[in-house]
Chain A
Amino acid sequence: MKPEALAKTGEPRPGEPTSREEGARKPTKRRDAMVLSVLPLYVFTFLFVIGPLVYMLVLSFLRRAEVWGVTLEFTFENYANILKPVYLKTFLESLKLACLTTLLVALFGYPFGYFMARQNAAWKRRIMVLLMIPFWTSSLVRLYGWIIIFRANGVLDGLLMALNITNAPLKVLYTYAAVVVGMVYALVPFMIFAVYSSAEKLDWQLVEAARDLGATPFQAFWTVSFKLTLPGLLSGIVLTFIPSMGLFFIADILGGNKVVLVGNLIQEQLMKARNWPFAAALSVVLLTLTSIMIALYRKISGVKDLEGLV
């Protein structure tokens, strides 16, 4: 039913019963009002989400102008550029760091989420609140804490030297290790929440049953609990891996200039080199990698939403 057609004719059209039209007019009007309620979201999404993303895609195929901006010339140059050894190395380094981070996060986070789900309700609540506080504390504040710990003659050096473990400052700040610690620290809560939310739903009687049937604790864990918490672990991996490719400010602050990630590269190309098309191409590749991971995760786990995200 077209509302404008109704408005134009005003009186019932020949051959159409009036009562039917009266009946149809009301829901149409109501639906129009409802459309108004979603209109802001539509406008915003088209203008500020779809628009920018489409522009990024277009931009990645344009040539950089000699002095400033871009020229309207189609090219694959920006994508070819990524394959240059310098940039490819950054991509691989980034992937390596992301893998290492994700592995460590899983190692520390999985047991936490799992053990947490086995506590009683009161403790679960307490632990949740205790987790939330650092999680919601500004990331910069927490990063600053690590600077205090890691800097030369800082807390860590002081502690190690006081315990006679080392006799000279280690100067951990601005090293690869510092960046890894910073990343793991920042991302471990995501793993914990993801694993916890799937371990929470686990029917512990199944584990009991396995034990009663003679499984060792490890066998029971491996064949029952681990399998059933796998979706949580997987979504934790996705939730850790994706941001760890782009968290350029952790690498910036804890790693000095020594650790360059894709994120740092994008930022540098945008702000310093002013090569926007190349930055756009890098983003498209990163976004594609991200989407592939999410799609793979969905396919493997059969879960539509990322567990622990909502």
Chain B
Amino acid sequence: MRKKARFPGIYLGIILALMYVPILLVIIYSFNESRISSVWSGFSLRWYRDLFRDKDMLEALINSLVLATVSSLSAAVIGTLAAVGMPRVKLRGKSVVEYISTLPIMIPEIILGMVFLVYFSLIRLPFGMITLTVAHTSFCIPYIYMLVKARLVGIDKSYAEAAKDLGANEWNVFWDITLPLILPAIASGVLLSFAMSLDDVVISVFVTGVNTNTLPIRIYTQLKTGVTPKINALSTLMFAATLLIIMLSTWFGRKTTLSVKRRNT
């Protein structure tokens, strides 16, 4: 038997460690007393205190949470209904529409942001939470659709047939049989969409209104202009939220569903 090589394990370890370095630094410095982040002057929670007193930041946080909730839930309704209905309708060009509906996660984000900006001003949709919601819903739908579709493939058709033989109509079958079976897929899809919406910078920068800020937009402007350690504190909290969402999502669905993510980074 050939000797088991040590190198792969070491390589995996080094790369993984490198991935955590930037994140750990942000977390460590969020507890730093000093304003200048390159100097460590002692443990302190002052930046967290400052953060919770920052009204603009809190408003941006609320906006982000509302936006993520509304977009992921609307996408859940649209995506789930379509994933269930698509295989059963006979419409011409069905597969084309299906393909086009997944375009928002296939094309570069910057293009999506750009087309939304010009289109929303063409149809005179007021820029702000409305445009943000439409844009975010557009890239949340494909995730839910794909996850539910994948789950539906794995469901035994005989359940639905048995129910129909016993006199259930299409609606009963959906509500009592299909829905409970696909619920884990919907739940993990909603969590993914929620995280995606919460993290989106590129599209949001384009479609937001003058006075509407989301958390990523605020952070983006701060990173560009000048950072205060408050951002460290905020980032640490966002990291904690990410961990929570991952844990929930893993709990709801198969682990593999997590590997579905937009190309945005």
A137 touching B239 by the CB < 8 A rule? yes
Could you say which of A108, A125, A151, A252 contacts B255, with CB atoms under 8 Å apart?
A: A125
For chain B, the count of residues having a C-beta within 8 Å of the partner chain is 89
Residue in contact with B23 in the complex, picked from A35, A36, A145, A287, CB distance below 8 Å: A145
Pairwise interchain contact B114-A279, C-beta atoms closer than 8 A: yes
Q: Is A96 an interface residue (CB 8 A)?
A: no
B238 interface residue (CB < 8 Å to A): yes
B82 contacts the other chain (CB 8 A): yes
Partner of A44, one of B38, B109, B138: B138
Number of interface residues of A (CB under 8 A): 92
List CB contacts (< 8 Å) of A274-309 with chain B: 276, 279-280, 283, 286-287, 290, 294, 308-309
Q: Which of A45, A119, A190, A243 contacts B109 (CB 8 A)?
A: A243
B225-252 vs A, Cβ < 8 Å mask (1 yes, 0 no): 0010001100100110011011000100
Q: Which of A142, A146, A267 has the most CB of B within 10 A?
A: A142
Q: Is A206 part of the binding interface, using a Cβ–Cβ cutoff of 8 Å?
A: no
Q: Answer whether A138 and B235 are a contact pair too, CB < 8 Å, given A41-B82, A283-B114.
A: yes
CA distance A36 to B141 in the complex (A): 17
Residues of A within 8 A of B38 (CB): 148, 151, 153-155, 158
Which of B114, B150, B263 is within 8 Å of A190, CB to CB?
B263
Of the candidate stretches A13-21, A46-54, A76-84, the one touching chain B is A46-54
Report B-chain residues with C-beta under 8 Å of the C-beta of A143: 22, 223
For A41, the chain B residues whose CB sits under 8 A away are 78-79, 81-82, 86, 97, 101, 141, 145
> Please, which residues of chain B bring their CB within 8 A of the CB of A135?
261
* Residues of A with C-beta under 8 A to B115: 52-53, 55-56, 280, 283
Query: DSSP majority for the A interface?
Result: helix
- Chain B: CB-nearest residue to A245: B108
CB–CB B146/A48 < 8 A: no
B108 and A243 form a contact (CB under 8 A): yes
User: How would residues 138 to 168 of chain A score, 1 for a CB under 8 Å from any chain B CB and 0 otherwise?
Assistant: 1111111111110101110010000000000
- B77 near A55 with CB under 8 A, answer no
A247 to B264, CA, bound (A): 8
Whether B22 contacts A148 by the Cβ 8 Å rule is yes
Question: In the complex, which residues 213-244 of chain A have their Cβ closer than 8 Å to any Cβ of chain B?
Answer: 239, 242-243
Interface 1/0s, chain B 96-117, versus A by CB < 8 A?
0100110110111111001111
Q: 8 Å CB contacts to B: which residues of A96-117?
A: 108, 111-112, 115-116
Known: A138-B242, A139-B201, A290-B108. A309 touches B82 (CB 8 A): no
- Choose one: A38, A44, A134, A158; the contact of B19 (CB below 8 Å): A134
Q: Does B91 contact A (CB under 8 A)?
A: yes
Known contacts A151-B38, A193-B259: A136-B81 contact under CB 8 Å = no
- Select A49's contact among B138, B171, B264, beta carbons within 8 Å: B138
Question: Do A287 and B111 touch (CB < 8 A)?
Answer: yes
Contact between A40 and B119, CB atoms less than 8 A apart: no
Additional A-B contacts beyond A136-B242, A145-B25, A266-B110 (16; CB < 8 A): A38-B81, A44-B78, A51-B119, A118-B8, A119-B12, A127-B16, A133-B242, A133-B246, A136-B261, A137-B242, A141-B26, A146-B22, A148-B25, A243-B109, A246-B111, A270-B117
A-B contact pairs, 22 of them (CB 8 A): A31-B89, A31-B90, A34-B88, A34-B170, A37-B85, A38-B82, A38-B86, A38-B91, A41-B79, A41-B82, A44-B141, A52-B119, A134-B23, A137-B242, A138-B199, A141-B23, A143-B223, A149-B25, A246-B109, A246-B111, A310-B150, A310-B260
The 8 closest A-B pairs by CB, nearest first: A145-B22, A37-B85, A41-B82, A186-B265, A115-B8, A246-B108, A52-B119, A246-B110
